[in-house]
Amino acid sequence: MTLQELYETIGGDYEQAMRVLRMDKLLDKHIRKLIQNGVIDQLLAAGEEMNGEQLFETAHAAKGVCANLGLNVLAGMASDIAEEYRPGSTRKLSDEEVAGKLKSLADFYQKTVEGIRRYEAGC
């Protein structure tokens, strides 16, 4: 599986990621690191506690990492959570609705991880 095929499989935007990282070698390195860097795991852990400050911080970090990697669906999901907890903003969603968004993010992230692992196995 090539990087482009991986991106097709996981619903990412290969061209956007290349505009940011500029080389397949760097993109390969950073997409593999996504699993180990823990940013999504930290977001999900903050969601278990419904800690608003931690949810904002981790969602904002996850949004940036995912956007740089061209993982726009994950970036958008993280952005929705970050905006819900942005300091100074009024919340619009219930805790149950946020939990549902986090569950959707976790499910999509799991599919992304599975795609990355298949990519790693084929390299």
pLDDT band at 10 (very low <50, low <70, confident <90, very high): very high
Mean pLDDT of 76-98: 96
At the fourth CATH level, the homologous superfamily of domain 3-122 is HPT domain (1.20.120.160)
Query: Rounded mean pLDDT of the chain?
Result: 96
pLDDT at 69: 98
pLDDT at 87: 95
Residues ≥6 apart with Cβ < 8 Å to 110: none
pLDDT at 101: 98
Quote the pTM value.
0.93
